[in-house]
Amino acid sequence: MIKNHGPYSKQFRHQILALVQQGWTPTEIALKYPPSKQTILRWIKEANIDNQELENDKTYKFEELERLRLENKRLRNERHILKKFVFWFILEDGAKSNEMLGK
């Protein structure tokens, strides 16, 4: 006979998944605790999907951070070059002005 149980709490699910991580098989857990083997297997699958999504998100964020760091470095270099050019231009322009004024 199949027993019907209402939804399990998140805490209980995490405790069951912790047992799996400790090396218990879903069959062993189902013999000792209320959820069926199929329910535990589904929870394991869902947890793996959630972990994979989390890993994908972390990878994307890391790649985005690395891209932004490289862009930031490039922009700093460009700004530094532009500052040098402006300084050089001001010096050159000043020298030309002095020549025109006869100084």
Tens place of pLDDT per residue across the chain (103 aa): 455 666 889 899 999 989 988 888 899 999 999 899 999 999 988 888 667 776 777 788 888 999 999 999 999 999 999 999 998 888 887 766 666 656 5
pLDDT at site 4: 62
d(CA 13, CA 7): 10
Instruction: Label residue 102 left, alpha or beta by phi (over 0 means left) and psi (-120 to 50 means alpha).
Output: left
pLDDT at site 69: 96
